[in-house]
Chain A
Amino acid sequence: SQTIHQWPATLVQPVGSPLSLECTVEGTSNPNLYWYRQAAGRGLQLLFYSVGIGQISSEVPQNLSASRPQDRQFILSSKKLLLSDSGFYLCAWTGQANTEAFFGQGTRLTVV
């Protein structure tokens, strides 16, 4: 069976510090991978999605970047965090065909 792991679950970081959130998928190959951000009481904002290794599409200009060094690994990064980067970050995967998305449990990031 397929599983998706996302960590850490919570993170408190000072302004200006770097960020690295990792997401891995098991039990499938060549997934589409997604990073979403959700502010409190808001909807899901798509940040990045990837259809393969090294193929990253950025949906909104921001202080963040994403990388996909391996087929089932998706990393969200920042060199210097801003207060506005606080939020709930969700990683998800879908199959190549039209399928549902499976989400990780999310990372609650608080920038202080």
Chain B
Amino acid sequence: GESVGLHLPTLSVQEGDNSIINCAYSNSASDYFIWYKQESGKGPQFIIDIRSNMDKRQGQRVTVLLNKTVKHLSLQIAATQPGDSAVYFCAENQEGNYGNNRLAFGKGNQVVVIP
């Protein structure tokens, strides 16, 4: 679900290290998940997605892991770079009021890369 009342948790990472960002989702019926990256003053940008029939999906320097048993999603960033500094959001596709799917975002995680 959505949680917007708290300051974002911050992950500080040394440049070159791997980053792991975690997300717990709320709806066991959700079947599609997305990770977004938001840089300051901009709209979120798509990073990678995964459907519920998969446990793992890899992109360029990023890997998403899905554990449906505990409703947990993670994003791994390999060899973190200064340009990776941003807020990262997970999103799940939930059923909305009209029976259609709507996208619900997690609270977000601030990643700060230390040169």
The reply to whether chain A is a binding partner of chain B is: yes
What separation, in Å, do the CA atoms of A44 and B91 have in the docked complex? 10
Bits for B75-109, please: 1 = Cβ < 8 Å to A, else 0: 00000000000000101010011101111111110
- The interface size bin for chain A is 20 to 34
- Asked if A34 contacts B103 (CB within 8 A), the reply is yes
What separation, in Å, do the CA atoms of A105 and B41 have in the docked complex? 8
- Asked if A46 contacts B41 (CB within 8 A), the reply is no
Which residue from chain A places its CB closest to the CB of B48 in the assembled complex?
A: A100
Which residue from chain B places its CB closest to the CB of A98 in the assembled complex?
A: B32
What separation, in Å, do the CA atoms of A96 and B6 have in the docked complex? 31
B5 within 8 A of A: yes
What separation, in Å, do the CA atoms of A108 and B2 have in the docked complex? 21
Other-chain contact of A49, B34, B51, B96 (Cβ < 8 Å) = B96
> Do A46 and B42 form a contact, CB below 8 Å, given A51-B96, A96-B100, A98-B31?
no
- Asked if B105 contacts A42 (CB within 8 A), the reply is no
Bits for A9-23, please: 1 = Cβ < 8 Å to B, else 0: 000000000000000
> Do A106 and B43 form a contact, CB below 8 Å, given A42-B8, A43-B105, A43-B106?
yes
Residues 28-74 (chain B) with a chain A CB within 8 angstroms? 31-32, 34, 36, 41-46, 49, 51
**A46 CB to closest chain B CB, in angstroms?**
6
- Asked if A41 contacts B96 (CB within 8 A), the reply is no
Q: Which residues of B contact A (CB under 8 A)?
A: 2-8, 31-32, 34, 36, 41-46, 49, 51, 89, 91, 93, 96-98, 100-108
Q: Which residues of A contact B (CB under 8 A)?
A: 32, 34, 36, 38-39, 41-46, 49, 51, 55, 57, 59, 88, 90, 92, 94, 96, 98, 100-106, 108
